[in-house]
């Protein structure tokens, strides 16, 4: 046996609540992140990711309580992304019970933030979230912010190489071209990014059918993040893992 390929459900949260796109039957409270985290943990999720889309500082403090409540009941790794601007934000999240943090916009604005977090907590705590789309940069892929709405003009591959050198544990590669299409992960981008970084690669954006998952692994992904296909019960995590096993991939069953 070898290292298993990871399946990671992602929940959008704000002010301590799951805010959109979840449609489970028989839920007491569809907005309770703890309840959903437990369901996914029991269903075989290898990790969980919360993306905090809170609009205000007050709402973010509620997120800390939510992270804490989740970590009290779910004993698999928890990553929290969104709104991290400085080392103190990371410290607060880790103390609340997060195991890793996702950093995106703030690191683009001030790359030294990566060094600061890695020096204090180690590379392994830091997931660099890259929202990339096809654009007129050197590699043909451009970094975006604000959920893909704002181009930065920064070349995605140059940024990934720079961040890897500064000290990151993983890359969460979100394809803004594939996101929401359910037409499959962006295997071309995954394949190219796999060649320029030595850290584990989590593919995100575009999962729609069962075959999409193994194709992203074929392209070089180490882990697969998905939201709506799990939230709307298109597939269970077990079904995805069974299909990956059929394709010869090691999964934790």
In degrees, rounded to 5, the angle at the alpha carbon of residue 57 between the alpha carbons of residues 54 and 48 is: 45
Binding of another protein by 252 (CB under 8 A): yes
Binding of another protein by 28 (CB under 8 A): no
Binding of another protein by 71 (CB under 8 A): yes
In this structure, the number of other CB atoms found within 10 A of the CB of residue 38 comes to: 15
Structure tokens at 248: 């010869």
d(CA 28, CA 10): 20
Among 23, 29, 61, 72, binds another protein (CB under 8 A): 72
d(CA 27, CA 6): 25
Residue carrying structure tokens 């992270």: 67
In the bound state with another protein, the residue whose beta carbon lies nearer, of 76 and 161, is 76
Binding of another protein by 222 (CB under 8 A): yes
Q: Which residues, numbered 127-166, are part of the site for another protein (CB under 8 A)?
A: none
Among 115, 124, 145, 234, binds another protein (CB under 8 A): 124
Per-residue b or e along 189-201, where b marks 16 or more CB atoms closer than 10 Å to that residue's CB:
bbebbbeebebbb
Q: Which residues, numbered 83-102, are part of the site for another protein (CB under 8 A)?
A: 94-95, 97, 99
- Of the candidates 46, 52, 89, 131, the residue annotated as catalytic is 131
**C-beta separation of 190 from 220 below 8 A:** yes
Structure tokens at 26: 């028989």
**Least distance (Å) between residue 161 CB and another protein:** 15
Binding of another protein by 75 (CB under 8 A): yes
218 counts as catalytic:
no
Binding of another protein by 223 (CB under 8 A): yes
| Per-residue x/- track, 183-202, another protein (CB under 8 A) | ---------------xxx--
The total number of residues written for the chain in this structure: 253
d(CA 53, CA 244): 31
**C-beta separation of 67 from 78 below 8 A:** yes
Residue carrying structure tokens 């590669």: 173
131 counts as catalytic:
yes
Task: Choose one: 4-12, 54-62, 149-157, 236-244; the region binding another protein (CB under 8 A).
Answer: 4-12
Binding of another protein by 169 (CB under 8 A): yes
**C-beta separation of 226 from 235 below 8 A:** no
Among 31, 77, 148, 151, binds another protein (CB under 8 A): 77
Binding of another protein by 57 (CB under 8 A): no
Q: Which residues are catalytic?
A: 12, 131
What residue ranges bind another protein (CB under 8 A)? 1-6, 41, 46, 71-72, 75-77, 94-95, 97, 99, 120-125, 169-170, 198-200, 222-223, 252
């Amino acid at each position: 046996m070898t290292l298993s390929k990871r399946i990671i459900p992602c929940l959008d949260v704000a002010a301590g609540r799951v805010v959109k796109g979840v449609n489970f039957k028989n839920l007491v409270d569809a907005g309770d992140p703890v309840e959903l985290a437990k369901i996914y943990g029991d269903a075989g999720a290898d990790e969980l990711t919360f993306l905090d889309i809170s609009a205000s500082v007050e709402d973010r403090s509620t997120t800390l309580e939510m992270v804490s409540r989740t970590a009290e009941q779910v004993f698999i790794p928890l990553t929290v992304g969104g709104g991290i601007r400085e080392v103190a934000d990371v410290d607060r999240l880790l103390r609340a019970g997060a195991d890793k943090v996702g950093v995106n916009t703030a690191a683009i604005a001030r790359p030294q933030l990566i060094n600061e977090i890695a020096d204090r907590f180690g590379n392994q705590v830091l997931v660099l979230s890259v929202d990339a789309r096809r654009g007129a940069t050197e590699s043909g892929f451009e970094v975006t912010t604000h959920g893909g709405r704002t181009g930065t003009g920064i070349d995605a591959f140059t940024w990934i190489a720079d961040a890897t050198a500064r000290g990151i544990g993983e890359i969460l590669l979100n394809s803004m071209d594939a996101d929401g299409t359910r037409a499959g992960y962006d295997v071309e981008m995954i394949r190219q990014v796999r060649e320029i970084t030595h850290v584990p690669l989590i593919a995100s954006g575009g999962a729609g059918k069962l075959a999409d998952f193994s194709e992203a692994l074929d392209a070089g992904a180490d882990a697969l993040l998905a939201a709506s296909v799990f939230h709307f019960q298109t597939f269970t995590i077990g079904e995805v893992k069974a299909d990956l096993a059929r394709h010869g991939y090691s999964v934790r069953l």
